[in-house]
Amino acid sequence: MKQVLNIKMVSDSEFKVDVGSDVKERELEFGITDVMYHLVIKYMEYKDMKMTDSNFDKTANEYCSALNNQLHIMHDIKADKGSN
């Protein structure tokens, strides 16, 4: 079994993410997509939503929008620290 991604919580708001040097982009994309899928399912369970295609689509779209916002915030934070 190959480890693609290792995430450690450094503090309440900071994580250390390590990606192996031999990890291919496709492997990383699939791993992250799988994590996102499970986040959508967990959120639907938390909200006690029925597992329908419509609810999944709505929740996935909300997550994609939130992810886009968070990516821009992360970029701004890391750019300010000079760690592009």
The structure's pTM equals: 0.70
Residue 84 pLDDT > 70: no
- CA–CA separation, 76 vs 73, rounded Å? 5
- Band (pLDDT 50/70/90 cuts) for residue 8 is very high
Tens of pLDDT, residue by residue over 11-64, are 987 888 899 889 999 999 998 999 999 999 999 999 999 999 999 999 999 989
Q: Which amino acid is at 5?
A: L
C-alpha span between 26 and 84 (Å, rounded): 21
Q: Which residues pair with 11 in a beta bridge?
A: 14
